[in-house]
Amino acid sequence: MLLLLSIDVRGRVVDARTKEPLSAVRVASPAGTASTDAQGHFVIPGATPGELSLRISLPSYALLKKTIEVAEGGTDVEIFLQPDAGTISSVVNVTAGVFDGLEGKSAPSEYTLHKTEVQALGTNLIADPLRSVQALPGVTVADDFRGEISIRGASFQRTGIMLDGIYIDGFQHLISGDSVGNDRDRGSFSIIPTDRIAEISVLPAAFPARHGFVTGGVVNLVSREGNRQKIDTRISTGLQLGTSLVVDGPFTRRGSFLVGYRSSALDYVRRLSAKEGDGGTVFDDGQVKLLLDASSHHRLGFSAVGGRFRIDDRQSTQRFGLNTATKQDSVNGMAVLSWDWTLSPRAIAQTKVFALQAGLRARNAEAILLARQPQTQFGGRHDWLVQSAGHRVEAGTYLRSVATEGEAQFYLPSVRQPILADRFRGSTTQRSFYVQDTLALRENVSLTAGARLENDRYTRQTLVSPRAGLVWKPGRFGGALRAGFGRHYQFAPLAQLLSRDGNPALVAERSDHFTLGLDYPVGEKARLTLELFRREDRRQIFALDEPRLINNRVVSLAGLPLNAVNGHANGLEIMLQRRSGNRFSGWLSYGWLQTRLRENTTGLSFPTDFDQRHTATAFGLYRLSQSWSLSSLWRYGSGQPEAGFFRKVDGTLFLASDRNQLRLPPYSRFDLRLNKSIHLGPTRWTVILEGINLLNRGNRGFVGLESFDPRTGRVLSETSLNQIGRGYSLGLIVQF
Q: Give pLDDT tens digits for 126-150.
A: 788 888 999 999 999 877 877 788 9
Cβ atoms of 7 and 74 within 8 Å: the answer is yes
Given a contact cutoff of 8 angstroms between Cβ atoms, the answer to whether 435 and 449 are in contact is: no
The whole-angstrom separation of Cα 187 and Cα 133 is 17
Does the pLDDT of residue 92 top 70, yes or no?
A: no
pLDDT number for residue 180: 39
Identify the pLDDT of residue 5: 59
Q: Which of 186-195, 297-306, 341-350, 632-641 has the lowest mean pLDDT?
A: 186-195
Query: E strands within 525-613?
Result: 526-542, 548-550, 553-555, 562-578, 584-599, 605-606
pLDDT tens per residue across span 1-51: 344 556 788 889 888 877 888 888 888 888 888 888 888 899 888 778 888
100, 106, 515, 535, 590 from 572: Cα distances, Å = 21, 21, 10, 12, 8
Residue 362 has pLDDT above 50, yes or no: yes
Report the pLDDT value the prediction gives residue 97, as an integer from 0 to 100.
65
Q: Report CA-CA distances (Å) from 409 to 17, 311, 324, 353.
A: 54, 19, 11, 36
pLDDT class of 124 with cuts at 50, 70, 90 = low
Q: 630 has which bridge partners?
A: 622, 674
The segment with the largest mean pLDDT, out of 161-165, 179-183, 366-370, is: 161-165
Question: Using an 8 Å Cβ cutoff, are 131 and 118 in contact?
Answer: no
Cβ contacts of 309 within 8 Å, gap of 6 or more: 173, 174, 175, 281, 282, 283, 328, 329, 330, 331
Q: Tell me what the mean pLDDT of segment 348-374 comes to.
A: 89
Which of 55-69, 164-178, 286-300, 383-397 has the least mean pLDDT?
164-178
197 beta partners:
223
pLDDT digits (tens, 9 = 90+) for 245-269: 899 999 888 899 999 998 876 554 4
| Cross-strand partners of 237 | 243, 732
End-to-end CA distance of the chain: 40
The CA-based angle 682-688-694, given to 5 degrees, is 170
The whole-chain average pLDDT of the chain stands at 86
Helices (H), 142-264: none
Average pLDDT over residues 172-199: 68
pLDDT score of 90 more than 60: no
What's the Rg (C-alpha) of the chain? 27
User: How confident is the model at residue 568, as a pLDDT?
Assistant: 97
- Number of helices (H) and strands (E) in the chain: give both, helices first: 4, 46
Strands 187-190 and 172-175: antiparallel
Write the single-letter amino acid at 23. Answer: S
Widest Cα–Cα separation across the chain = 108
Q: What is the pLDDT of residue 3?
A: 47
Residue 95 is predicted with a pLDDT of 45
- Residue that wins the pLDDT comparison between 320 and 595: 595
Q: Where is average pLDDT lowest: 64-73, 112-121, 215-224, 471-480?
A: 64-73
With a cut of 50, say whether residue 704 has pLDDT above it: yes
Q: How confident is the model at residue 241 (pLDDT cuts 50, 70, 90)?
A: low
Q: What is the mean pLDDT of residues 546-560?
A: 85
- The Cα 59–Cα 625 span in angstroms is 8
Whether the Cβ atoms of residue 141 and residue 150 lie closer than 8 Å to each other: yes
Span 276-284, mean pLDDT?
Answer: 64
What are the Cα distances from residue 653, in Å, to 387, 616, 650? 61, 29, 9
- Cα dihedral: 129, 131, 135, 140 (round 10): 130
pLDDT at 86: 57
* Angstrom distance (rounded) from CA 264 to CA 260: 14
Average pLDDT of span 482-494: 95
At 647-667, the pLDDT tens digits run 888 888 889 999 999 998 899
Element (H, E) at 332: strand 327-344
Q: Look at residue 89 in the predicted model and tell me its pLDDT.
A: 47
For residue 713, is it left (φ>0), alpha (ψ between -120 and 50) or beta?
A: left
More confident residue, 536 or 730: 536
CA proximity to 227, closest of 192, 261, 251? 251
- What pLDDT does 488 receive? 97
Q: How far apart are CA 289 and CA 224, in angstroms?
A: 9
Question: Which amino acid type is present at position 166?
Answer: I
Report whether 342 contacts 386 (CB < 8 A).
Answer: no
* Residue 660: closest CA among 153, 119, 36: 153
Neighbouring residues of 55: CB distance < 8 A, sequence distance ≥ 6? 26, 27, 28, 29, 63, 64, 65, 679, 682
- The predicted structure's pLDDT at residue 592: 97
Domains belonging to the chain, first-starting first, are 7-81 (2.60.40.1120), 104-735 (2.40.170.20)
pTM of the model: 0.89
The pLDDT value recorded for residue 127 is 81
